[in-house]
Amino acid sequence: MGKYGQHIREDKAVLTQPRCPFCSTLFERPREISTKLSFFSGGICGCGAVYSYDPTRNNMGEAFMDALVHACGEDWDLAMSLESEKDYEEKFVVYKELDHSLSSKAVSSNPKDRIVNMIFVRLKNQQRT
Ligand SMILES: [Zn+2]
């Protein structure tokens, strides 16, 4: 994974409602999600998408893995065997915690988009163990 941590200046991006990029349902504020090993900040949408929020943007690779593994029911082996696009989809957004909103400019499918701080992952086949 590349460098995710670069800080950029906030611009005047239009804020928009916090909706899941997959199903457009409003999602809840990130909360502490327990995993086998520790926890991450995020949540689960009704459509099965798992989101992971990293306010520092420093560990987006880790945030992504947390979301993917959680989507796989904490099955690391399964998570590692999955391929992007084929087995799961990922979306990257800029979440504004203060307003509980998204920056409309930043919905992106590009993980190198350095301003993103929240990742949504949804399995295509909803494999669960
Ligand atoms: Zn959703």
Other C-beta atoms closer than 10 Å to the C-beta of 46 total 10
Considering only CA atoms, give the Rg of the chain. Answer: 14
Residue 105's pLDDT is: 63
Report how far ligand 1's centroid is from the alpha carbon of 124 (Å). Answer: 12
Q: In this model, does residue 128 exceed pLDDT 90?
A: no
Cβ distance 102 to 14 under 8 Å?
no
Query: Which amino acid would we find at residue 81?
Result: S
Asked whether residue 3 is domain-assigned, the answer is no
Asked whether residue 2 is domain-assigned, the answer is no
Report how far ligand 1's centroid is from the alpha carbon of 86 (Å). Answer: 18
Structure tokens at 102: 């998204």
* Number of structural domains found in the chain: 1
Q: Which residue has the higher pLDDT, 116 or 104?
A: 116
Strand, coil or helix: what is 64? helix
Question: Residue 63's domain spans which residues?
Answer: 15-123
Report how far ligand 1's centroid is from the alpha carbon of 121 (Å). Answer: 10
Q: In this model, does residue 110 exceed pLDDT 80?
A: no
Asked whether residue 39 is domain-assigned, the answer is yes
Asked whether residue 129 is domain-assigned, the answer is no
Report how far ligand 1's centroid is from the alpha carbon of 68 (Å). Answer: 15
Residue 37's pLDDT is: 82
| Dist CA 92 CA 112 (whole Å) | 10
Report how far ligand 1's centroid is from the alpha carbon of 16 (Å). Answer: 16
Asked whether residue 5 is domain-assigned, the answer is no
Asked whether residue 92 is domain-assigned, the answer is yes
Q: In this model, does residue 127 exceed pLDDT 50?
A: no
